Structure 1
Amino acid sequence: MGKLTAIVMGATGLVGKALVNQLCQDDRYHKITCLVRAPLTANNYHDPMLKIEPLVIDFTILQDYQGYFTVDHVYCCIGTTMKKAGSKSAFRKVDFEYVHVCAQLARAQRAKSFVWISSIGANAKSNNFYLRVKGELENAILTMPQLPNAAAVRPPLLMGNRSDHRPGEAWGIKILEGISPIMKGPLAKYRPVYAEQVANEMINLQLF
């Protein structure tokens, strides 16, 4: 078994599940700490080598769990939706504040790298609130001093089996899947992708 250690934030989400499962199969890793808001459902993860160490925490006091960030690689898959958050301030707390604190803790504990999920079209000057928050977060993390090898993945719409129902997103994916064959050149980046592809990209960014 390998010697690398990792911490995964947001391990119960679509990409988070795919990521943890890929890390469990990756011989380079021997321990995967998952900080979660609710207990993990064991049948969502294939962990024959017993690498996963889950811990249910209070995300409003993330700084109290700083010691768990003493790992090689930090993966942050935290994210919500406007509908689930209920307000712009609640959305920003999850998608900006929590992720930003994770980056600060990774820096404080001298993690070798930090990778998180942003969004295609992220832009701090966007008129779209969602994309503006994502862009502001990219600016905040990528300019953070003494945080080595920080990188964001910018996926378009994600395909996969979600635990929550998102009818608008589902329709968007169906439309994009239908026109994907003609989405070439600059448009190719907007093709919907599977969560497993995003998870694999995150791992490749860590293992530079």
Structure 2
Amino acid sequence: MPMKSDQPRSRRVAVAGATGLIGSQLVQGLCRDPEVTAVHALARRAPGFTHPKLHMLAVDFSVPITLPPLDEMYLALGTTIKVAGSQAAMRAIDVDANLALARAARAAGATRLGLISAMGANAASPVFYNRIKGELEQALAGLGFEALVIARPSLLRGDRAALGQHTRSGEIWGERLNDLLRPLIPRQWQAIAAADVAAALAQTVPTASGRVLLTSGAMQGAAQRSADTDSPA
């Protein structure tokens, strides 16, 4: 029988949308992971912190990209129609750019992929936002990754203004209503912290097999569970 190695795993990862609400949380968490040796942050501007493992890759998502050798890819890239300006421009980012980056990651050797999708993702949905999220999920499933982990969060909690992002009025009002009615709202539909989504994805991708779906309810509290696990006994 082969001997089990006591050597720690050495993982090289990339995060697209690295300066976004969830992407920035992913980058910080992966930098803290002792198994991760390199974190490549793909964004148009540098993340708001530095770390010895962190490597900035300034990219134009509208042109082809070649990535360094990778083991895992995390897709946290997305926009809104208000910011993009049209459905076509939004699709170019939420579907086309993510798909191109996933293909580049496969070419760079990545075997595991984590995706930030949406709770209502469905390629057959009459709602444009849900439909393109579902279309992306379907397209990624055909790229041959050993593991595809899809996180489908509900309404997100987080400080977009602090990241230099446009605030989303739907999130603001939804969060206020959520706080008011939280005891009556099923866990699956409750607003979820971006840190919980990032932690759940980062915990699952390294050991997953096949297609794994992370529901919003299951991801609630993931950041605290991760902190408790990492704390010394």
Q: TM-score, normalised by structure 2?
A: 0.79
Report the Cα distance in structure 1 between the residues aligned to 2:59 and 2:98, rounded to whole angstroms: 15
Q: Identity over aligned residues, as a percent?
A: 34
20, 23, 30: which one pairs with 2:27? 20
Residue 158 of structure 2 aligns with which residue?
160
Cα distance in structure 1, aligned partners of 2:37 and 2:172:
36
Regions of 4+ moved over 6 Å: none
Unaligned segments of structure 1, at least 5 residues: none
Pairing partner for 1:178 from 177, 180, 186: 180
Instruction: Assess if the C-alpha contact under 8 Å between 2:157 and 2:171 holds in 1.
Output: no
Q: Within the alignment, does 1:11 sit opposite 2:10 as a pair?
A: no
More helix by share: 1
Residue of structure 2 equivalent to 1:96: 95
The answer on whether the counterparts of 2:24 and 2:47 sit within 8 Å (CA) in structure 1 is: no
Q: Say whether 1:37 aligns with 2:44.
A: yes
Deviations 1:153-174 (A, max 9, x none): 1011110111322222200111
**1:115-154 residue pairs with structure 2 within 5 A?**
115-142=114-141, 144-154=142-152
Q: Quote the offset at 1:145 in angstroms.
A: 4.3
- The residue matched to 1:150 in structure 2 has which SS? strand
Measure the CA separation in 2 of the matches of 1:31 and 1:110. Answer: 14
Tell me what 2:191 maps to. Answer: 192
- In structure 1, the residue matched to 2:216 is none
**Count of aligned pairs between the two proteins:** 196
Give the distance between the partners of 2:62 and 2:190, measured in 1 at CA.
Answer: 35
Within 2, Cα distance between the matches of 1:175 and 1:190?
12
* Structure-1-length-normalised TM-score: 0.88
* Distance in 2 of aligned mates of 1:151 and 1:206: 6
Quick one: which amino acid aligns to residue 155 of structure 2?
L
Unaligned segments of structure 2, at least 5 residues? 1-7, 208-233
